């Protein structure tokens, strides 16, 4: 968290807010500096005085293009970005501790973009464009038009791991995390412990269709607000209201009435309906 829909929501908003704006200066405190990485000889000072050319999403990463450089932000477990007036005044939706937890900030002429990170997990990277893009090491994007049923099934056949960890592994496909993996597997009627390479071509096509459909729905609703996630304007995502299995363990399945279960697979939890989702052993 945040996953593809939450990051896409932020990227779309940043395109409207910061593209074309000139960077005055940066703020990086001690806590965030532990998660700050320079690729090559690039530094934040190389970016000062330059305009932001474009903003893109790379999997779960926010890529801010500034001249020949990229500023990468990965929000990790939390890390909402706050777009506010100069000085980052306290805002109600983040409580009274806003100023305390802004560990990284980009200052423009009248506004600032701050990274609110209570757990200090978020990652910031700066480097030349090619160097940063090559460092991502992620698979094809889950929303890419190039990711069709044939390609997706070929990826499944290469892996003998269970399907839930397969979907979470960003080197397979990029952007899907815990929330949307659980929801997509429920949509496709596939048990999270099913081994990826055992899925038939038709099952793979169905699962991919569910992934793309659910991600698109979530983007329209600005993602899922779990914990402290909000977009850059402080609004909570509404897809949380649409969850069928995620964080619904112990509740009744919306399809069959069975009780949603929660198990741990490869160190991560999975929620599923034992009746609606078939396990191919």
Q: Is 281 within a domain?
A: no
Regarding whether 212 and 127 lie in a shared domain, the answer is: no
First to last CA, the chain: 30
Range of the domain at 119: 4-135
Q: Is 45 within a domain?
A: yes
**pLDDT for 168 beyond 50:** yes
Catalytic residues: 2-3, 60, 268
Q: What CATH number does residue 93 fall under?
A: 3.20.190.10
Q: Is 278 within a domain?
A: no
pLDDT digits (tens, 9 = 90+) for 118-162: 777 788 999 999 999 999 999 999 999 999 999 999 999 999 999
Short-list 142, 257, 123, 262, CA closest to 209? 142
Cα–Cα distance for residue pair 181/84, rounded to 1 Å: 33
Question: Average pLDDT, stretch 24-30?
Answer: 83
**pLDDT for 12 beyond 80:** yes
Regarding whether 226 and 117 lie in a shared domain, the answer is: no
Domain total in the chain: 2
pLDDT digits (tens, 9 = 90+) for 59-107: 999 999 999 999 999 987 666 788 877 555 444 344 445 556 788 889 9
Q: What is the pTM of this model?
A: 0.89
Regarding whether 37 and 123 lie in a shared domain, the answer is: yes
| Strands laid side by side in the 36-38 sheet | 36-38, 123-128, 69-74, 61-66, 54-58
- Least confident range from 2-6, 120-124, 212-216, 263-267: namely 120-124
Q: How many CA atoms lie within 13 A of 79 on its CB side?
A: 24
Q: What CATH number does residue 227 fall under?
A: 1.10.8.50
């Amino acid at each position: 968290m945040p996953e593809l829909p939450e990051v896409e929501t932020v990227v779309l908003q940043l395109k409207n807010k910061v593209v074309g704006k000139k960077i005055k200066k940066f703020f990086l405190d001690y806590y965030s500096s532990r998660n700050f990485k320079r690729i090559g000889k690039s530094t934040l000072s190389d970016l000062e005085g330059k305009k932001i050319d474009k903003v893109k999403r790379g999997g779960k990463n926010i890529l801010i293009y500034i001249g020949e450089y990229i500023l990468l932000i990965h929000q990790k477990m939390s890390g909402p970005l706050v777009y506010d007036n100069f000085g980052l005044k306290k805002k109600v939706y983040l409580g009274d501790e806003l100023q305390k937890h802004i560990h990284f900030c980009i200052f423009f002429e009248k506004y600032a973009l701050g990274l609110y990170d209570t757990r200090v997990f978020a990652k910031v990277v700066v480097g030349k464009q090619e160097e940063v893009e090559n460092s991502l090491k992620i698979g094809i994007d889950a929303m890419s038009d190039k990711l069709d049923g044939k390609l997706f099934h070929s990826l499944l056949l290469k892996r003998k791991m269970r399907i839930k960890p397969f979907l979470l592994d960003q080197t397979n496909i990029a952007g899907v995390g815990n929330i949307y993996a659980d929801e997509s597997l429920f949509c496709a009627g596939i048990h999270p412990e099913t081994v990826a390479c055992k899925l038939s071509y038709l099952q793979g096509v169905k699962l991919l269709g569910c992934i793309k459909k659910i991600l698109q729905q979530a983007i329209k609703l600005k993602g899922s607000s779990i914990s402290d996630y909000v977009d850059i304007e402080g609004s909570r995502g509404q897809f949380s209201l649409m969850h069928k299995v995620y964080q619904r363990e112990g509740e009744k399945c919306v399809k069959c009435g069975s009780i949603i279960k929660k198990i741990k697979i490869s160190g991560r939890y999975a929620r599923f309906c034992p009746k609606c989702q078939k396990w191919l052993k």
